[in-house]
Copies of this chain bind each other. A is one copy, B any other.
Amino acid sequence: MRARGAVLTGGAPSPDNHQMTADPVPPAPARRQRPANVMDVARAAGVSHQTVSRVLNDHPSLRPGTRQRVLDAMAELDYRPNAAARALSSNRSRMIGILSTAAGEYGPASSVAAVESAARARGYSVTIANADGLSRASIDEAVDHLAALSAEGLVVVAPQTRVLETLSKRSFGIPWVTLQAVADPDSPHEGGVGSVAPVGHGRPLDQVIGARLATAHLAEAGHRRIGHITGPADWIDAAQRVRGFREELASRGLDDDLLATGDWSAASGHRAGRELIERGATAIFAGNDQMALGALAAAAEAGLEPPAELSIVGFDDVPEAAFYRPALTTVRQDFSEAGRRAVALLLGESEVAPSVEPVLIVRGSTAPPAP
A266 close to B (CB within 8 Å)? yes
Smallest CB-CB separation from A3: which chain B residue? Answer: B91
A136 close to B (CB within 8 Å)? no
Q: Within 8 Å CB of A110, what residues of B?
A: 103-104
Pairwise interchain contact B265-A319, C-beta atoms closer than 8 A: yes
Pairwise interchain contact A148-B80, C-beta atoms closer than 8 A: yes
- Known contacts A84-B88, A323-B297; A128/B130 CB under 8 A: no
Q: Within 8 Å CB of A108, what residues of B?
A: 109
**Which of A83, A93, A120 has the most CB atoms of chain B within a 10 A radius of its CB?**
A83
- Known contacts A85-B88, A320-B293, A320-B320; A130/B148 CB under 8 A: no
Q: How far is the CB of A153 from chain B (nearest CB, A)?
A: 15
Q: Within 8 Å CB of A320, what residues of B?
A: 266, 290, 293, 320
Instruction: Please pick, from B126, B147, B267, B325, the residue contacting A128 in the complex, using a CB distance under 8 A.
Output: B126
Dominant SS among interface residues on chain A: helix
Pairwise interchain contact B323-A266, C-beta atoms closer than 8 A: yes
Stoichiometry, as copies per complex, reads 2
**How many residues of chain A are within 8 Å of chain B by beta carbon?**
55
- Known contacts A106-B104, A112-B103; A88/B88 CB under 8 A: yes
A161 close to B (CB within 8 Å)? no
A89 close to B (CB within 8 Å)? yes
Instruction: Please pick, from B83, B267, B296, B319, the residue contacting A149 in the complex, using a CB distance under 8 A.
Output: B83
Q: How far is the CB of A229 from chain B (nearest CB, A)?
A: 13
Smallest CB-CB separation from A88: which chain B residue? Answer: B84
Pairwise interchain contact A150-B109, C-beta atoms closer than 8 A: no
- Known contacts A88-B84, A125-B127, A126-B127; A296/B267 CB under 8 A: no
A233 close to B (CB within 8 Å)? no
Pairwise interchain contact B93-A103, C-beta atoms closer than 8 A: no
Q: Within 8 Å CB of A91, what residues of B?
A: 1, 4
A137 close to B (CB within 8 Å)? no
Provide the bound-state CA to CA distance between A34 and B104, in Å. Answer: 38
A300 close to B (CB within 8 Å)? yes
Pairwise interchain contact A109-B120, C-beta atoms closer than 8 A: no
Q: How far is the CB of A103 from chain B (nearest CB, A)?
A: 3
A12 close to B (CB within 8 Å)? no
Provide the bound-state CA to CA distance between A130 and B120, in Å. Answer: 10
Q: How far is the CB of A127 from chain B (nearest CB, A)?
A: 5
Pairwise interchain contact A116-B104, C-beta atoms closer than 8 A: no
A145 close to B (CB within 8 Å)? yes
Smallest CB-CB separation from A270: which chain B residue? Answer: B323
Pairwise interchain contact B81-A84, C-beta atoms closer than 8 A: no
A82 close to B (CB within 8 Å)? yes
Provide the bound-state CA to CA distance between A116 and B84, in Å. Answer: 21
12 A/B residue pairs, CB under 8 Å, sorted by A: A4-B91, A80-B147, A83-B150, A84-B88, A84-B150, A103-B109, A104-B109, A116-B130, A120-B129, A126-B127, A267-B322, A270-B323
User: Top 6 nearest A-B pairs by Cβ distance?
Assistant: A103-B113, A84-B87, A109-B109, A266-B323, A84-B88, A1-B91
